[in-house]
């Protein structure tokens, strides 16, 4: 059971760090409100699938995923510097449809878009909002 617990802990650390990276480094990429909902880590910690979901309606998920995939080397560098793992997992970004199907966060995201507030939550769905000056 200790191995499974380690996988769970590392996946949570990766989820938080990827979310922070998106907030810090990808502010100018036009991602808007993006939720890193989960990280599915392989047992050997070599592969991580990062599930993301835009909270604002009308966001093109394909362009978001392309932007994230283009920045995978930078995200892995950041993970290597901050997490001090022996091997940094290979990252794959996927769209998390469960948030959209459940309707969770749509009202929350819309309210914050309208009020233009910066949001960083520590809940399971780690939300990142980049407040841009227009």
* β partners of residue 48: 41, 91
Give the start-to-end residue ranges of the domains of the chain.
2-128
pLDDT grade for 110, boundaries at 50, 70 and 90:
very low
Q: Report the CATH number of the 2-128 domain.
A: 3.30.300.20
pLDDT in tens, 43-80: 999 999 999 988 777 678 888 999 999 999 999 999 99
Q: Is the pLDDT reported for residue 116 higher than 70?
A: no
CA distance 133 to 87: 38
Task: Find the mean pLDDT for residues 83-93.
Answer: 92
Q: Which pLDDT score is estimated for 126?
A: 43
- Whole-number average pLDDT of the chain: 77
């Amino acid at each position: 059971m200790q191995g499974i617990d380690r996988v769970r802990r590392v996946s949570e650390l990766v989820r938080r760090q990827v979310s922070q990276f998106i907030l810090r480094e990808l502010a100018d990429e036009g991602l808007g409100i993006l939720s890193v909902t989960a990280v599915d880590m392989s047992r050997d910690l070599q592969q991580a699938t990062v599930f993301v979901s835009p909270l604002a309606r009308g966001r093109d998920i394909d362009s978001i995923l392309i932007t994230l995939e283009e920045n995978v080397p930078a995200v892995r560098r950041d993970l290597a510097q901050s997490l001090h793992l022996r091997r940094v997992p290979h990252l794959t970004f996927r769209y998390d449809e469960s948030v959209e199907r459940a309707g969770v966060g749509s009202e929350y995201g819309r309210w914050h878009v309208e009020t233009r507030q910066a949001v960083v939550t520590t809940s399971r769905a780690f939300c990142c909002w980049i407040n841009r000056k227009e």
